[in-house]
Structure 1
Amino acid sequence: MTGGPVKVLIVDDAPIVRNVLTKELSRDSRIEVVGAAEDAYQARDMIIERNPDVISLDLLMPRMDGLEFMEVLMKHWPMPIIVLSSIVDDHWDQALRALELGAIEVFAKPNPEDPVAFKAMLARLTDTLVWAARIDMNEVLQKKKIQSKPSPLKSPSLARAADKIIAIGASTGGAEALRNIIPLLPPTTPGILIVQHMPEHFTHSFAQRLDQMSQIEVKEAEDGDEVYPGRALLAPGDHHMRLKNKNGKYVVDIVKGPLVSRHRPSVDVLMQSVADTAGAEGVGVMLTGMGNDGAKGMLSMRERGARTIAQSEETCVVFGMPREVLNNGGAETAVPLPDIASKLMSLV
């Protein structure tokens, strides 16, 4: 990327989506929409002619779908791609596959009759497009080849694990990072609470995918779910998740509530609740992501005696959230992604 506005190419088969995105994104002085293609073939020609910095891509398109197009691009012309698609239950696997292929972020198209949701999505999409333009996709694809060390991990005793709570925050690039951590954890791992910025309806499918890969149970959290060793709860999209102690047991509250740190679910909400409820028995992990969500919450955790770590810059897709917690003292140290699972076990 050179100086000046970020050059964005919109790829979507729906004329109304192309027109609305072009109009709304062009309002931001940081962005120049250099084209709006109706399918992958037209997009290919525009890429050659207009050299965009980043692409907004629909997945469900005629002639060549978004996944096929991504595979071609990542092989021959790697560039940052933000998926904006109608993610419903029938297509969750396509969204997950897009992340595996190298998509920087996945957004669900909001209900056009909900102007508040549209405005919130557009603000996040705009910031993500601008940020993504800075990313070197060759580096990202190289980092995706890094695999966490599969050596056996120390298993904490159930008695010790029952007292501990692990809180994990992640955003851009976090889905891939979590796939390199959660499947390595042993069955007696303390209860885990995860906030990964994802669209509503997508978190359920992502939790299922992690569950299939892992030794521990992974599920999308429901209000009142108990937190115990061998279980990881993923905050549902568009809802905050808080830890509380109910009759001597750890459980979660799932609430709608206002956006916090521009997000719902918010890492700050989760980690503040872990600081308040678990105190020194907490362990905090900040993974790759854009922005500063979680910086205040993790600092509160550390101030209450919790152990805290952040993903290292060289293994992050976006070194935003980890940088914030390292800079403000919320995280004790930076740890490379392949070492995070073993580091976690050493802290519990």
Structure 2
Amino acid sequence: MNARRIKVLIVDDSALVRSVLTEILSADPALEVVGAAADPLIARDKIKQLHPDVLTLDVEMPRMDGLTFLENLMRLHPMPVLMVSSLTAHGADVTLQALELGAVDFITKPALDVRAGLQAYAELLRDKVKAVANARPRGSLGLAAPRPRSDAGAATVRHFNTTEKIIAIGASTGGTEAIKEVLMAMPPDAPAIVITQHIPAMFSGPFAARMDRASAMSVCEAQDGQQIVPGHVYIAPGDRHLRVTRSGARYVCRLSDAPPENRHRPSVDVMFQSVAENVGTNAVAALLTGMGEDGARGLLTLRQLGAHTCAQDEASSVVWGMPGAAVRMGAAEVVLPLHRIADQLLAWAGQPASRASQHVGAQGSAAMADKRF
């Protein structure tokens, strides 16, 4: 007997986008497009009638915008959602808000030649829908409020030496919120952190800005040749690999336009391998939630060199692809729930645990009003 197909409901005000998405997804025998809706109010009724496993949701629509609909959906009828976003600065900001509200992942659609643009990554789109179907929707869990930055602590930069610790973090699907939780638990004088999150070029800058507002550390989109110093976080720009190299006793960010690795640029494996080569046992690393296997081999290389490594556990991961692959190949020294990872990284780096990590997610226990969806 064949496995049950994943039922998809497409919500988009563009008839062309609805048609192209239906065509792309229906080409996979594991997927079944059970319906389409031109706005959230129609979608609400079709969700009740069709009981889809996954919703693809446009950001900007008539009668009710995508964010308002998503917030109501996650509060009253949580389900896996894949956002369909415009590849613009505004689209990036709104999409990051959608991920905060509980959307699992997103795809981007071009402003011109939408059919060709979507068909160009049809395989990735189908893979994302399957991953989202098996994901754990966050719903309106809530996070602790951003902590004020301590200017004194952030401004303190230790002298460079060859034993500086660096924390390396990789993530993909579900990673924007997982990274936020880790960074919110970090003190302002934590060791330098380098991060590769699978994200498009237009989205990485707004993502870094959001993380900067949420963290006591200083967070930025990495620049080529930028020195890596304690108290700072460096996020790989979309569509560029981030490598950590050494210039004398100093660590430096190097960006690369080399071909994608594991279908990704930036690639977690590329960053982890560079950390293994240039930081070695002074590195500590974590592989968080994400689809696929990117980062698992790089994490294994780090562990084999003697660096401390951890992977996010399955229960707290939105998608246990990347960390799961790392666990299966023995790349993770420990496997931890998300809320314990920051303190473990700090402990390995010789820093005291942060009190803030005890409060991350505390607001998520607030009771919601019982309303009809």
State whether residues 310 and 326 of structure 1, in contact with CA within 8 Å, keep that contact through their aligned partners in structure 2: yes
**In 2: Cα distance, 1:100 partner to 1:52 partner:** 22
The 1:162–1:17 alpha-carbon spacing in structure 2 relative to 1, beyond 3 Å, is farther
Unmatched tracts of structure 1, length 5 or more? none
Name the residue aligned to 2:180.
179
Name the residue aligned to 1:163.
164
Q: CA deviation at 1:123?
A: 2.3
TM-score (norm 1): 0.90
Unmatched tracts of structure 2, length 5 or more? 148-153, 350-373
State whether residues 169 and 195 of structure 1, in contact with CA within 8 Å, keep that contact through their aligned partners in structure 2: yes
Runs (4+) of structure 1 moved beyond 4 Å?
111-120, 145-148, 159-162
Asked if 1:190 corresponds to 2:191, the answer is: yes
Q: CA deviation at 1:219?
A: 0.5
Name the residue aligned to 2:129.
129
1:46 maps to amino acid: K
Q: CA deviation at 1:209?
A: 1.0
Name the residue aligned to 2:234.
233
1:141 maps to amino acid: G
Asked if 1:45 corresponds to 2:45, the answer is: yes
Name the residue aligned to 1:36.
36
Deviation string, structure 1 residues 131-164 (Cα, Å, up to 9, x no partner): 2212354xx338x45769x9xxxx9994689611
Counterpart mapping for 1:175-324 below 5 A: 175-324=176-325
TM-score (norm 2): 0.84
**In 2: Cα distance, 1:36 partner to 1:320 partner:** 29
The 1:111–1:253 alpha-carbon spacing in structure 2 relative to 1, beyond 3 Å, is farther
Q: CA deviation at 1:119?
A: 5.1
Q: CA deviation at 1:75?
A: 2.1
1:346 maps to amino acid: A
State whether residues 185 and 216 of structure 1, in contact with CA within 8 Å, keep that contact through their aligned partners in structure 2: yes
State whether residues 107 and 199 of structure 1, in contact with CA within 8 Å, keep that contact through their aligned partners in structure 2: no
RMSD of the alignment, in Å? 2.6
Residue aligned with 2:237, SS: coil
Residue aligned with 1:128, SS: helix
* Aligned sequence identity (%): 44
The 1:262–1:312 alpha-carbon spacing in structure 2 relative to 1, beyond 3 Å, is same
The 1:32–1:115 alpha-carbon spacing in structure 2 relative to 1, beyond 3 Å, is closer
Deviation string, structure 1 residues 105-151 (Cα, Å, up to 9, x no partner): 122214655999745643222112112212354xx338x45769x9x
Name the residue aligned to 2:139.
141
The 1:292–1:190 alpha-carbon spacing in structure 2 relative to 1, beyond 3 Å, is same
**In 2: Cα distance, 1:346 partner to 1:161 partner:** 19
Q: CA deviation at 1:322?
A: 1.2
